[in-house]
Structure 1
């Protein structure tokens, strides 16, 4: 979203961004001169408090998100020409309701394809709502997913819609997605097969990042062979110490140095040996270009950044869209999909043996040359063109 904001401003637009009030989000936008309008609670606190896979407290969190769209987001959208919405369904359905009331153009964008209904893939499932066992027809499962979405979020959204004079929704999910959703993913890394949805694939939205790497990190990189990056981004881990130990032990077994990214899981260094270096928020575009491989959780952003750098990947999927990106990395031959979310030294060592081969490097570099870098600029142009 930072990338889109920058490209829109370059085209002469005024940009207002509504997002959770986490310090790192505010800093990202402040760095490019865009003010963040805080909405809801810091998402990092929510992520840290939610047990993976649990639906406990989901209804309350959804109600907060929905109310925020009809409150501060609606205020921010006053006088705008377009409202671009992304995020979980309670957010995007409520955001479109706001756009409908204000008679503002609305665009739904997804940064991964797994939530978009398609006969070629299963729905990802919703917290606390298991899909019918034994059903294999994807169309039937997507119909079930739509019913689940209505039951989970319909009443809360319709209550707010009624308060501003809008009729109730009969299909919350499809209303949120619209007939023409945007898909902000790279067409090589994440191809979309045509369906009845008129999906507009813009390419991934990459934010300009010319920040220099910290001098201490540069010194570490210069002091030896390219290290392997290990990080899990904003994904919580049940036992970060165990994950860090497994990664470092697997890499030391192969004579590799390591850069450990703390991330939201606070991944630690396991000792003070000089073959490991810890980082916080840094320029991944610059760092990945200097690494031998990237071990990560499989988010859209990290996967795309590593692919653009031409660096082999080991994806250890933790949930959400991570298995999808792990599968794409494996299918393209640019890395390895780890089996399951809990790595051991042995399992990572086996995956790294494949990822660190010359063949994987050659393939990763070849795919790198096909990754589009104009996705955010394309989206900005489409917004100005009214498409």
Structure 2
């Protein structure tokens, strides 16, 4: 089987699809990644062929002026403008990049372009999501409406899923329809995904998805990229972790900040107040401590699968992939959500009892973060729940299950 995996997203949104490609290739299939050019290094490190699209998501977000710090509406407006102006070019490029595929798959970031490309090529498109989209339920709110008031009850929570579905697609609908007509020569609504199962790259122990009506919904477990055999930690990091006392990991991934120095100072102060040392992951937000701070180890990025199990707690922005890595590690998490689906994942962490209540970026203070850190590293019941859940998640083979389902689609 030949399969194209499409993702126009940040590194955290692309990496699960690289993991799927690795699993497919190990199973003997020809799988490749279709993503913007800044995913080239990630794909190359994993041994996955990359058919690039123009532009850089990282450059776009670094120059966003902190749009994600201002919340979901600001992030959606910026994303709509950024992606909207690229959809036509990406559609032409993806049409060539997906040529020869038997199956095309992707989540929201890939569907913006590749769903219509699959239709143009006459190939099935498999929705492969990192969030619980298209599955309304009264059990929990929609991914974009984590703060749905409890007094609205089950009906309100179910409605929030429909509002999430509308909110996910509304910013891109016009650009998508224009590209369908002018670039791909298609009319009407996309339909290449109809009749095929929907895959979800997380665990039902974290988010149970209701059974589908008409279309199967398969929650496979997390799509985790194996750690490269050649990777080894810097000796200075190993020595830092070996010192006495609790260490936490702090990083906000692709979330750019207007004032990285102020955020860094806040994090350093909170860690000091909580009595912990910190591994600070700079990410796209540019966090950077003072060079003489012996209680902070700074790195641009480190493999989560290696780092997270070696710290007492993880502080992160609540991206779907980072949340999964933290849960699999079996340590408590402090979620500082910025925008989009991040408040949802923060609420799931708290609901599972494996982290304190999330601290929204708009309300992040030194005192609030310090209090959350203290809870995360000193609450034995929280630590025990996190450890137990992590052990269960590590037993799941999300990639293997997804590969089997994609193979079934390839067989028709």
TM (norm. structure 2) is 0.81
Once the two structures are TM-superposed, the CA of residue 273 in structure 1 deviates from its matched residue by: 2.4
Question: Which residue pairs with 2:204 in the alignment?
Answer: 187
Once the two structures are TM-superposed, the CA of residue 6 in structure 1 deviates from its matched residue by: 0.7
Deviations along 1:93-129, whole A, 9 cap, x unmatched?
A: 431221112111211111111x435143555569xxx
Structure number with higher helix proportion: 2
Change (3 A) 1:179 1:77: closer
Deviations along 1:231-264, whole A, 9 cap, x unmatched?
A: 1111112333233222222222232111111111
Picking from 136, 156, 179, the partner of 2:175 is: 156
Inter-partner Cα distance in structure 2 for 1:249 and 1:329: 24
Question: Which residue pairs with 1:374 in the alignment?
Answer: 397
Unaligned runs of 5+ in 1: 127-133
Inter-partner Cα distance in structure 2 for 1:139 and 1:178: 23
Inter-partner Cα distance in structure 2 for 1:259 and 1:146: 36
Contact 1:187 1:203 in 2 (8 A): yes
Question: Which residue pairs with 1:130 in the alignment?
Answer: none
Once the two structures are TM-superposed, the CA of residue 326 in structure 1 deviates from its matched residue by: 0.8
Picking from 80, 97, 112, the partner of 2:116 is: 97
Question: Which residue pairs with 1:273 in the alignment?
Answer: 293
Query: Within the alignment, does 1:30 sit opposite 2:49 as a pair?
Result: no
Contact 2:24 2:403 in 1 (8 A): yes
Question: Which residue pairs with 2:223 in the alignment?
Answer: 205
Once the two structures are TM-superposed, the CA of residue 69 in structure 1 deviates from its matched residue by: 4.2
Helix, strand or coil at the partner of 2:238: helix
Change (3 A) 1:182 1:118: same
Contact 2:201 2:223 in 1 (8 A): yes
Inter-partner Cα distance in structure 1 for 2:170 and 2:47: 41
Deviations along 1:119-151, whole A, 9 cap, x unmatched?
A: 43555569xxxxxxx997466666666667776
More RCO (CA 8 Å, sep 6+): 2
Picking from 43, 48, 61, the partner of 1:47 is: 61
CA RMSD of aligned residues (A): 2.8
**Aligned positions of 1:74-223 closer than 5 A:** 74-88=95-109, 91-113=110-132, 115-120=133-138, 137=156, 152-163=171-182, 164-169=184-189, 180-194=197-211, 196=213, 198-210=216-228, 211-223=231-243
Question: Which residue pairs with 2:8 in the alignment?
Answer: none
Change (3 A) 1:43 1:178: farther
Contact 1:18 1:36 in 2 (8 A): yes
Deviations along 1:12-64, whole A, 9 cap, x unmatched?
A: 11122111111xx2222111222322213100111123323336565543334
Which moves more between the two structures, 255-264 or 367-376?
367-376
Contact 1:123 1:142 in 2 (8 A): yes
Question: Which residue pairs with 1:361 in the alignment?
Answer: 383
Picking from 356, 365, 369, the partner of 1:348 is: 369
Once the two structures are TM-superposed, the CA of residue 176 in structure 1 deviates from its matched residue by: 6.5
Contact 2:336 2:359 in 1 (8 A): yes
Contact 1:338 1:348 in 2 (8 A): no
Aligned residues: 372
Change (3 A) 1:322 1:102: same
TM (norm. structure 1) is 0.86
Change (3 A) 1:175 1:99: closer
